[in-house]
Amino acid sequence: MVSVAEASAVVWASLFKSRPKSAQIEEAVGKVLAERIVADRDFPPFNRVAMDGIAIQYASLKVGAEFFIEAVQAAGEPGKKLKKANHCLEVMTGAMLPEGTDTVIRYEDVKIEKGVATIQIKEVTLGQNIHRQGQDARQNDVLLDSGILLSPAEIALLASVGKNRVDVFSLPRAAVVSSGDELVEVSSTPAPHQIRRSNTYALQAAMRSLGWESESFHLADQKESIVASLRGIVKNYDVIILSGGVSKGKFDYIPDALEEIGVKKLFHQVNQRPGKPFWFGVSENGKVVFALPGNPVSTYMCFYRYIKPWLLKSLGVEVHLIQATLASDFSFKPELTYFLQVEVKFENGKLMAYPNQGGGSGDFANLKNVSGFLELPADRSEFKAGELFPYIPFRSLF
């Protein structure tokens, strides 16, 4: 048996070697950038008018506040030129600042009558309301580095530099495999001794929420057929996520079957609750196998605690530890890392975690009441309100 820290270290040392793959930017949100993006032009590329109004030459303010309007400079028009220093042009947001002007006064601060604009305010600053060429970035500046998780903000940057396709890190081809003779299809009516399969749905949904597609399989509790099926699955996928069949039961054949087909066990059993029977191994050619215990809460917790960070780390994304404050005293005696189900709430800027532990690893109905797991260390049994612990969320707060 290994500790949670040891298990994590082994998993993080067995990352998937992702390769860059071209994607349309419409499909790239949530993916990890696999190239460096530089500015193709200055940002902004010209002195951009930042307010609708008039553009003047600042020095002319000494002469007076009335400016004859020579022309209108719209956005999308080539830049115009001020002909006389004490005249002005009407300018629109997004237009090029006309040559010969250096200051923009917004419409709200001028009165326009008979082709003459009169400035109504006393305070005017040289260069106001102009978004200067190159103010945000210079041509050839690095805008984005490889390894960034693309949010809509980065998609805007990619679009603005003309990248309609971009290299992103490919996700591992994944198989999600359930096992157990008691499990039937979602669409069927179970006999009294059967239950519907739910873990693969939970796993695939969790993966899909990360933009990670997968295929699902089911194995009966029959050793030879497990060996044969797993051989094919391990051959065809980069990562295999199993649930069930890894405990001490008479029909828990998965660990033996995996070793038989050449997947080397790196650990079996983790000092944790839920999820103690967790088995992890890697094949000679680098296929990674997470064989999770079948109890639904165990499967679920292990995905968020081990597999999600494994994926992010494989893609080169920095994974940040989140902490939450335990909201009430809690006691847990066994010397195991306990993943306590909690409902979190923001209170006075603090993430407060309210225990709602549910009825054990089989009680997945309780997950609807909670938003994540608080990781309570194995070497203690009393946990005090106000203490901070690592928090593993599966639900966002909004």
Residue numbers at the binding site for ligand AMP (CB under 6 A) = 178, 180, 182-183, 195, 197-200, 243-245, 247, 249, 293-296
Number of residues that bind Mg ion (CB under 5 A): 3
Burial class (CB in 10 A: 0-12, 13-18, 19+), 113: exposed
Eight-state DSSP code of residue 107: G
Q: b or e along 70-99 (b: 16 or more beta carbons within 10 Å of the residue's beta carbon)?
A: bbebeeeeeebebeeebbbbbbbeebbbbe
Q: Three-state DSSP class for 185? A: coil
Q: Which stretch binds Mg ion (CB under 5 A): 68-76, 85-93, 243-251, 306-314?
A: 243-251
- Of 122 and 193, the one with the shorter C-beta distance to ligand AMP is 193
Residue nearest to ligand AMP (CB): 294
Q: Long-range CB contacts (< 8 A, 24+ apart) of 305-308?
A: 305/4, 305/275, 305/339, 305/373, 305/375, 305/392, 306/7, 306/8, 306/11, 306/278, 306/280, 307/241, 308/206, 308/210
Q: 281: which 2 tokens?
A: 């191994």
Q: Find where tokens 């089911």 sit.
A: 218
247 binds, among Mg ion, ligand AMP, none (CB under 5 to 8 A by kind): ligand AMP
- Of 254 and 376, the one with the shorter C-beta distance to ligand AMP is 254
Least Å distance between CB 251 and Mg ion?
Answer: 7
53 binds, among ligand AMP, Mg ion, none (CB under 5 to 8 A by kind): none
The neighbouring-strand residues paired with 183 are: 195
Least Å distance between CB 243 and ligand AMP?
Answer: 5
Least Å distance between CB 362 and ligand AMP?
Answer: 6
CA distance 237 to 10: 20
Q: Determine, following the binding rule CB under 5 A, whether residue 296 of this chain makes contact with Mg ion.
A: no
- Of 218 and 313, the one with the shorter C-beta distance to ligand AMP is 218
- Among 44, 98, 172, 244, indicate the residue that binds Mg ion (CB under 5 A): 244
- Of 129 and 178, the one with the shorter C-beta distance to ligand AMP is 178
- Among 44, 53, 180, 274, indicate the residue that binds Mg ion (CB under 5 A): 180
Least Å distance between CB 293 and ligand AMP?
Answer: 5
- Of 8 and 198, the one with the shorter C-beta distance to ligand AMP is 198
Q: Three-state DSSP class for 180? A: coil
Count helices and strands in the chain by DSSP H and E runs: 7, 28
Q: 163: which 2 tokens?
A: 């990248």
Least Å distance between CB 32 and ligand AMP?
Answer: 29
Least Å distance between CB 171 and ligand AMP?
Answer: 22
CA distance 380 to 168: 43
Continuous segment of H or E residues that includes residue 174:
strand 174-179
Q: Which stretch binds Mg ion (CB under 5 A): 225-233, 240-248, 271-279, 303-311?
A: 240-248
- Of 42 and 182, the one with the shorter C-beta distance to ligand AMP is 182
- Of 9 and 220, the one with the shorter C-beta distance to ligand AMP is 220
- Of 180 and 277, the one with the shorter C-beta distance to Mg ion is 180
CA distance 325 to 143: 36
Given the rule CB under 5 A, which residues bind Mg ion?
180, 244-245
